[in-house]
């Protein structure tokens, strides 16, 4: 019975605590069987219509996608935040069937013909611009799903799609397992010399969770893992160079050997993607990927990346020379050796401390999570006229750490809700940070207060958890990450589009999706905003102006190196998907090393296996799209430039510009092309000047 399976119950929100792996297979198969009947019925109806309208074809397609997406997205979400062997098995058992149904719908001749007839028929003139854009997108998606293929080619295309889905899931599971499998348990205080108190407390807590009952921050033992809240502080502060080397090597070799080796999967994924593109008539997977993005082609992307490489490479070289000289001036650095990869973070922090008279770790007490959230929500109200209020207990959650919030408009009442899952859980939760939709805004479903169903977002981070009764104190980088993901959530939640196929982040070109997220990061360097998100965990005092000025001055610290690192990833991704031939005898790692010659000033280790944990492109949505971060950063920096020009010190100007940003970038979703959205907000096309200025690279030369 459906009422016994929480994945089949019609409710406002998923009943997370009740969902178990045993529910997955029966629920998904029940839904698929129902939708197969519904799709067949739709096809029969469409075949008898010469001039179908919007309600005849687009609305039924959204309804079918909604009915499958609701339970399947819940399963996929749990794979990221509550992973287990049983859930993996259940997910794998039905993943192929879900992929097959998606292809069945995308390849339907009746549906495709009806969409084409709608575009060329009399009903087209009556559609609004958003509806027309949706129909165009549905036609393109059908073509990318292989609707034009027949016979053996279609069979092969479908087999490729099924295998790619399985390989992507396996890749992600290998990364999670490899990260979880490694740990350094240290028992000598000399081995943790240099670590700040917060890192010691987390390491002791990790040791206790691993069975060391008496572990303490003062006496140890201390457990160091590859999870970023543990890994990053160790690389930045641990004085033992040999231990930093061990940890660094483990990190870049993750999922690169043994049973969890992703190297064979990388070759298969790249070969299958190339075959997929060829079957669809594209010269490369990159060309296929960019056909649905904002960037016009591979050449345009490479032109932007090369422009940014030209202004960042020499700056990064100078930064490395400067860091090498700084380290060599200290007696504890081995004078006979050059600066190594596992030295960079440590000495960069020492140089930051000397130059700006503060350390990243020193900032943590000023940014307890409750205060950061309070200030972030105040900023959202100031900019966009929305109020965020805690609603813990009003919605079921998948872990006790998860919080729930309601978002209300100053005029329209409740407009959205979101979950926040802030802390790292290495045993069951994927690393990194992300925003995903729980449900999207749509007029097809009536919300509890009438009108369209309102959007609900998942905001997921991986910061250090509370330790010994103290709240989670965030690094400044973790603060920026939270602002970034909340920017994604704002676009999902503040949409005014009622068509579910284009509301929020849906139907937004992938290389424009990062605009609102990277835009929000800029407010971490706005003096008023930082005062509102900071309060010392012991005294409650806001961050002193003098310390903020140091943070602001350090904003461009190692900016060339940071930009070059992102370009290294972007160029590697593009090269693998645009020109690499898996049958050429060269490996993906050879390509990585070749790209590194132009995009790194301290080359990766010859044995580096970073690609084996590069989930963004091998298990996420960024294949031939990692450049999107830089493409969208041009847009986001230019968008923030509008606030700077209006005057950050003027509340009226900030409010007016914020409302304009809301009504364009955040409200229009995928109903309008992102270039037009940007131009409506900014009044002109984007330029990279603001990005280079924020990075302190506007005067750099190639």
pLDDT in tens, 543-555: 999 999 999 999 9
Cis link prior to 221 (omega < 30° from 0)? yes
Q: Mark out the alpha helices in 357-475 (DSSP H runs).
A: 360-363, 369-384
* pLDDT confidence of residue 360: 84
Cα(67)–Cα(647) distance, rounded to whole angstroms?
Answer: 47
In words, the CATH class of domain 358-557+627-702 is mainly alpha
Neighbours of 638 (CB within 10 A): 22
Reference 34, options 76, 66, 73, 75; nearest CA is: 66
What is the DSSP track for 545-576? HHHHHHHHHGGGTTHHHHHHHHHHHHHHHHHH
Average pLDDT (217-240) is 96
Q: Which residues of 671-689 are buried (b: 16+ CB within 10 A; e: fewer)?
A: bbbbeebbeebbeeebebe
- The token pair that represents 543 in the structure block: 């961050």
**Tens digits of residue pLDDT in 19-31:** 999 999 999 999 9
In this predicted structure, the answer to whether residue 588 has a pLDDT above a threshold of 90 is yes
Among 90-94, 288-292, 334-338, 572-576, where is mean pLDDT lowest? 334-338
State residue 633's pLDDT score. Answer: 95
**CATH 1.10.1370.10 domain extents, the chain:** 259-357+559-626
Q: What is the mean pLDDT of residues 484-500?
A: 98
Give percent above pLDDT 90 in the chain: 93
Cβ within 8 Å of residue 671, ≥6 positions away: 129, 130, 133, 134, 497, 499, 502, 503, 507
Query: CB neighbours (10 Å) of residue 92?
Result: 15
pLDDT of residue 336: 85
Band (pLDDT 50/70/90 cuts) for residue 702 is very low
Residue 700's pLDDT band (boundaries 50, 70, 90)? Answer: low
Nearest C-alpha neighbor of 160 from the set 139, 175, 150, 146: 146
Kindly indicate whether the domain formed by 259-357+559-626 is annotated with CATH number 1.10.1370.10.
Answer: yes
How many of the other CB atoms lie within 10 Å of CB of 389?
9
- Above 80 in pLDDT, residue 481? yes
pLDDT of residue 1: 45
Mean pLDDT of the chain, nearest integer: 95
pLDDT, tens digit, 9 for 90 and up, residues 509-533? 999 999 999 999 999 999 999 999 9
Strands 183-186 and 386-390 come out as unpaired
Per-residue confidence (pLDDT) for residue 2, from 0 to 100: 58
pLDDT of 379 reads 98
Statement: the pTM of the whole predicted model exceeds 0.85: yes
Any idea what the Cα angle at residue 365 is, between residues 363 and 368, rounded to 5°? 110
pLDDT digits (tens, 9 = 90+) for 335-363: 889 999 999 999 999 999 999 998 888 89
Asked if 175 contacts 255 with a C-beta cutoff of 8 angstroms, the reply is yes
CA 481 to chain centre: 10
The C-alpha atoms of residue 234 and residue 432 are separated, in whole angstroms, by: 18
Q: Report the C-alpha gap between 324 and 340 in whole angstroms.
A: 9
pLDDT at 458 over 50: yes
pLDDT value of residue 699: 63
Per-residue pLDDT of 670-679, as tens digits, reads 999 999 999 9
User: In the structure, what pLDDT confidence band is assigned to residue 472 with cuts at 50, 70 and 90?
Assistant: very high
Which of 124, 341, 92, 83 lies closest to 235 in space, CA to CA? Answer: 341
Q: Compute the CA torsion angle 385, 390, 395, 396 (nearest 10 deg).
A: 130
Contact of 687 with 698, CB cutoff 8 Å: no
DSSP string for 342-370: HHHHHHHHHHHHHHHS--HHHHGGG-BHH
Of 167, 152, 146, 157, nearest to 270 by C-alpha is 167
Is the model's pLDDT at 701 over the cut of 60? no
Distance CA 301, CA 587 (A): 24
Q: Where in the chain is the domain with CATH 1.10.1370.40?
A: 358-557+627-702
What's the average model confidence in pLDDT over 630-654?
Answer: 96
pLDDT band at 253 (very low <50, low <70, confident <90, very high): very high
The pLDDT value recorded for residue 361 is 86
The answer to whether domain 2-148 has CATH 1.10.3720.10 is no
Q: What is the mean pLDDT of residues 258-284?
A: 97
**All CATH 1.20.1050.40 domain ranges in the chain, comma separated:** 2-148
Q: What is the pLDDT of residue 583?
A: 82
Averaged pLDDT, 688-698: 90
On the question of pLDDT at 418 being above 90, the answer is yes
Taken as a whole, the chain contains a residue count of 702
Cα distance between residue 438 and residue 460, in whole Å:
12
Q: Would you please indicate which residues are annotated as catalytic (active-site) residues?
A: 485
Alpha-carbon gap, residue 111 to 42, rounded angstroms: 8
């Amino acid at each position: 019975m459906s009422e016994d399976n929480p994945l089949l119950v019609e409710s406002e929100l998923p009943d997370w605590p009740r969902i178990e792996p045993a529910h997955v297979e029966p629920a998904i198969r029940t839904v698929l069987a129902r939708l197969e009947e519904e799709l067949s019925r739709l096809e029969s109806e469409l075949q008898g219509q010469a001039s179908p309208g919007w309600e005849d074809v687009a609305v039924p397609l959204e309804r079918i996608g909604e009915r499958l997406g609701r339970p399947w997205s819940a399963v996929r979400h749990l794979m990221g935040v509550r992973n287990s062997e049983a859930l993996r098995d259940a997910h794998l058992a039905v993943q192929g069937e879900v992929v097959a149904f998606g292809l069945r719908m995308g390849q339907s001749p009746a549906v495709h013909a009806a969409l084409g007839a709608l575009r060329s028929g009399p009903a087209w003139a009556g559609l609004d611009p958003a509806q027309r854009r949706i129909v165009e997108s549905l036609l393109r998606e059908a073509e990318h799903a292989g609707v034009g293929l027949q016979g053996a080619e279609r069979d092969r295309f479908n087999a490729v799609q099924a295998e790619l889905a399985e390989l992507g899931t396996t890749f992600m599971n290998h990364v999670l397992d490899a990260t979880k499998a490694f740990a350094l348990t240290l028992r000598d205080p000399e081995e943790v010399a240099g670590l700040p108190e917060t890192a010691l407390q987390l390491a002791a807590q990790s040791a206790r969770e691993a069975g060391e009952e008496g572990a303490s921050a003062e006496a140890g033992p201390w457990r160091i893992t590859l999870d970023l809240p543990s890994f990053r502080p160790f690389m930045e502060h641990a004085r033992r160079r040999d231990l930093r080397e061990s940890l660094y090597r483990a990190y870049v070799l993750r999922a690169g050997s043994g049973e969890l080796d992703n190297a064979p999967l990388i070759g298969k994924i790249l070969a299958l993607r190339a075959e997929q593109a060829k079957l669809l008539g594209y010269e490369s997977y990159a060309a296929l990927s960019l056909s649905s993005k904002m960037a016009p082609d591979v050449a345009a992307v490479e032109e932007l990346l090369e422009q940014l490489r030209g202004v960042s490479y020499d700056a990064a070289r100078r930064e490395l020379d400067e860091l090498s000289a700084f380290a060599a001036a200290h007696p504890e650095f081995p004078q006979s050796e050059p600066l190594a990869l596992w030295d960079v973070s440590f000495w960069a922090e020492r140089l930051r401390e000397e130059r700006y008279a503060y350390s990243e770790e020193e900032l943590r007490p000023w940014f307890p999570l409750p205060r950061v959230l309070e200030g972030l929500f105040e900023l959202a109200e100031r900019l966009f006229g929305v109020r965020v209020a805690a609603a813990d207990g009003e919605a079921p959650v998948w872990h006790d750490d998860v919080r729930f919030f309601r978002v209300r408009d100053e005029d329209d009442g409740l407009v959205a809700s979101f979950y926040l899952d802030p802390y790292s859980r290495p045993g069951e939760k994927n690393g990194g940070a992300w925003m995903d939709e729980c449900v999207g805004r749509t007029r097809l479903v009536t919300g509890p207060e009438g009108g369209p169903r309102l959007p609900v977002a998942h905001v997921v981070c991986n910061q250090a958890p509370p330790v010994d009764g103290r709240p989670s104190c965030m690094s400044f980088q973790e603060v920026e990450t939270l602002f970034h993901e909340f920017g994604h959530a704002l676009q999902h939640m503040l949409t005014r589009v009622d068509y579910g196929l284009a509301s929020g982040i849906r139907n937004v070109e992938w290389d424009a999706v990062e605009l609102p997220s990277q835009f929000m990061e800029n407010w971490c360097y706005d003096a008023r905003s930082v005062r509102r998100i900071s309060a010392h965990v012991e005294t409650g005092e806001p961050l002193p102006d003098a310390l903020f000025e140091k943070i602001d001055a350090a904003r461009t610290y190692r900016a060339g190196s940071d930009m070059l690192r992102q370009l290294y990833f972007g160029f590697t991704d593009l090269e693998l998907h645009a020109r690499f031939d898996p049958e050429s005898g060269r490996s993906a790692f050879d390509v990585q090393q070749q790209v590194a010659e132009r995009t790194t000033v301290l080359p990766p280790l010859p044995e580096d296996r970073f690609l084996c944990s590069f989930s963004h492109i091998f298990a996420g949505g960024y294949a031939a799209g990692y450049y999107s971060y830089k493409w969208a950063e041009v847009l986001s920096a230019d968008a923030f430039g509008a606030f700077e020009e209006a005057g950050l010190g003027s509340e009226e100007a900030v409010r007016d510009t914020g409302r304009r940003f809301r009504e364009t970038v955040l409200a229009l979703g995928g109903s309008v092309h992102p270039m037009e959205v940007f131009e409506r907000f900014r009044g002109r096309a984007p330029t990279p000047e603001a990005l280079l200025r924020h990075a302190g690279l506007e005067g750099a030369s190639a």
